[in-house]
Amino acid sequence: MSRNVLLQLLGGGQSPGHLRRLINLWPPLLGAGIRIRRISPDMRSIDVEMKLRWWNANYVGTHFGGSLYAMSDAFYMLMLMANLGPDYIVWDKAATIRYKKPGKGTMRTEFRLTDAHLADIREKLETLPKYELVFLVEVKDESGTVIAEVEKLLHVRKKSGDLDQPRSGDRMQPTA
């Protein structure tokens, strides 16, 4: 059922394949040449790739760093939202990227969410008001060499009755 909540949030149909197609058309990913290759039915596994093209290359002909980062952005947040369900608020809070070597050719990255991750989050939120966890994402080339490492810090908490607090997926208006 939680997978359906995410699909509804994104305006999609009732299958991970439909969600994959929708996300692949999202302008920031489409423009960078980033493609989701596979989403598991339980939203616990996503594989992403990006081919080197003239529009995502930097001035020396390798992958633009912003595009390498974009390969890691939002996927763990979406996966947690889908698997924890509507009683939890999930936000991307921070990220750092470390470039290891220039990226050429096709870049790939994998996102995996385990039962242990979910159990840990639920257990921590039984006693804590919020929980922040870090996921390491490795961007690799076709030979499996790590090109960049991205640390993603995610903020998770249970929803409260306070309707004034923003929730995952809420549209925010800038304040003066």
Q: Is the pLDDT of residue 13 over 80?
A: no
Q: What are phi and psi of 124, to 5 degrees?
A: -60, -40
pLDDT number for residue 170: 57
Q: Which residues are registered as beta bridge partners of 158?
A: 88
Residue 76, both tokens: 């763990």
Q: What are phi and psi of 104, to 5 degrees?
A: -130, 155
Q: Tell me the longest C-alpha to C-alpha distance in the chain.
A: 52
Neighbours of 165 (CB within 10 A): 11
Measure the N-to-C terminal CA separation of the chain; round to a whole number of Å.
39
Q: Quickly name the fold that domain 2-158 has.
A: Thiol Ester Dehydrase; Chain A (3.10.129)
Average pLDDT over residues 162-174: 53
Please state the domain extents for the chain: 2-158
Q: Contact, 69 vs 97, CB < 8 A?
A: yes
Using CA atoms, how far apart are residues 70 and 66, in angstroms rounded to an integer? Answer: 6
pLDDT number for residue 20: 82
Q: Is 144 left (phi over 0), alpha (psi -120 to 50) or beta?
A: left
Neighbours of 153 (CB within 10 A): 15
Q: Is the pLDDT of residue 12 over 70?
A: no
Percent of all residues in the chain with a pLDDT value above 90, rounded to a whole number: 69
pTM above the 0.95 mark?
no
Sheet arrangement for strand 88-99: 34-39, 45-50, 107-112, 131-140, 146-158, 88-99
Residue for token pair 């001035």: 59
Residue 115, both tokens: 């039962």
